Structure 1
Amino acid sequence: YKLKNADLAAVEDAYSKAAETGMQVLAEEFVEGRELTVGVLDKGEGRGLEAMPIIEIKAPKGDYDFEHKYYSDETVYVCPAEISSEKTKEIQDAVVKAANLVRASGWSRIDVMLREDGSFALLEINTAPGMTPHSLVPLAARTEGISYGELVKLVASGASLKG
């Protein structure tokens, strides 16, 4: 359940309904803002992880749900996102730091919410993001001049069976 400006009764109701599934219920802060995602890629040559161009996800009514991600043609992806160069660098530095902190390697993607006041929250890291030609990391790669084939080679060259 997605609750905005909810009172205690609404939270309790949502919790009760979610608990009926018999599964564990997780509640987290609702972060409102512009939805962004940032690919992180090891481009080889010992350079380590680097942030890719930021993508802004513009879904109808701000609902980037399963339907709008996989089936709808209404979602718009803006790459690079229309954000100041200073804020872009700040977000990219934060996602690289986060990826390094969790010891991500090869490639990953981190979702970010950019609040109206300019602050931002890192939401989650996907350490095995989609790699179809229509996925978000390949979109960011194309934006910086890396072809899909080159991207696949970069990801494969960094692959390892080490745990």
Structure 2
Amino acid sequence: MKKKVAVLLGGNSEERKISIASGRAILKSLIRSGINAHPFDTRDFPIMHLKRQKFDIAYIALHGKGGEDGSIQGILEYLNIPYTGSGIMASSIAFDKKKTKLLWKSAGLSVLPDIYIQKEDILKNLDIFLIRKFYKLEYPILVKPNNQGSSIGITLVHSKDQLKNAIKIAFNYSNNILVEKFIKGTEYTVSILGEKILPSIQILTKNNFYDYTAKYKLSSTKYLCPSELDLKQEEKLKKIAKKAWNTIGCNGCGRIDIILDSNNKFWLLEINTIPGMTNRSLLPISANTIGISFDELVLKILNKTIISSS
């Protein structure tokens, strides 16, 4: 029997536009491969309709809240519909930057120092809180929402007088934020497909870091794959990525962002359990380097779900 696949896209998160682009690319690819696939925008259609419309599998192309945080995964499990990507627990942890870093640190992996702030901590008097908490802070620092993707809401802060505004911006996107040590280094990303660690990509941007503009708007951003690391460093990077992936308990496919500092040390930055699948996305670039076309990649992700659910 031919399986009916729902490509979940859109949603209500800040990453809606990116999700639609990913979802459409996946949908077109599945149709090219002869799959009975249909788009399903979770903003406009109740997810419970999936069962009524007799969908067999959900291909998740939702980015951000409602897609990567375990909530949609929980509903799909309740509906008994297999889905692509990581499960409820791994998705939920991976979407929480602080919890992810705590687990990585407990596993002996290197993460950048940070200060974790909850909105309730500073509602009464932000100025007094800042004086108490940040009097020894070394600039520059990154202020980022704890639960957000695509570098949305992140500000690079160079001095104390910029901090207050950066914190307010981050709190627009999350009730918890991270104030993290910033290091200027070489950024890499490592994609994972099932048990396979794909070749790393070096990210070259003219911006201070790989922010939203560099990701989605600047044509000057370059991606090197192979990444120009020597064999020993590439293997070390892959080993770190695999341990980071397994520590969170992820499966399916995903991406891990890492930075190499001036002392030749790798630092884990973030994990992405539902990577972008657009023409600028990094997972397809990495897969293509070892001869996996976009259509093959989309099918491999789908087939892993079919096999695991059978």
TM-score bucket (shorter structure): 0.7 to 0.9
Taking only aligned residues, the RMSD between alpha carbons, in angstroms, comes to 2.0
Higher helix share: 2
Asked if residue 14 in structure 1 is aligned to residue 162 in structure 2, the reply is yes
Q: Give the counterpart of 1:89 among 235, 249, 258.
A: 235
Residues 256, 271 of structure 2: 8 Å contact kept:
yes
Partner of 1:29: 181
Are the counterparts in 2 of residues 35 and 56 from structure 1 also a CA contact under 8 Å? yes
Q: 1:102 aligns with which of 224, 228, 248?
A: 248
Deviation at 1:39, TM superposition (A): 0.2
Residue 21 of structure 1: how far off its partner (Å): 4.8
* SS across alignment from 1:159: helix
2:156 aligns with: 2
The alignment's TM-score, normalised by the length of structure 2, stands at 0.45
Which residue among 110, 114, 117 is the counterpart of 2:263?
Answer: 117
User: Structure 1: which 5+ residue stretches go unaligned?
Assistant: 43-48
Work out the number of aligned pairs and report it.
Answer: 150
| Identity over aligned pairs, percent | 35
CA contact (8 A) 1:18 1:25 kept: no
Q: Select the structure of larger CA radius of gyration.
A: 2
Per-residue CA deviation, residues 97-149 of structure 1 (Å, 9 max, x unaligned), is 11111111110000010112211101000000011243110000000111111
Q: How far is 1:22 from its partner?
A: 8.4
Partner of 2:202: 56
CA contact (8 A) 2:207 2:214 kept: no
- Tell me how far apart the structure 2 counterparts of residues 30 and 112 of structure 1 sit (CA, whole Å): 13
Aligned-pair CA distance for 1:14: 3.1
Contact 1:15/1:25 (8 A) holds in 2: no
TM-score (norm 1): 0.83
> Taking structure 1 as reference, are residues 58 and 19 closer, same or farther at Cα in structure 2, changes over 3 Å only?
closer
Task: Verify the 8 A CA contact 1:133 1:148 in the aligned structure 2.
Answer: no
SS in 2 for 1:80: coil
Query: Where does residue 285 of structure 2 map in the other structure?
Result: 139
After superposing on structure 2, the runs of 4+ consecutive aligned residues of structure 1 that deviate more than 4 Å are none
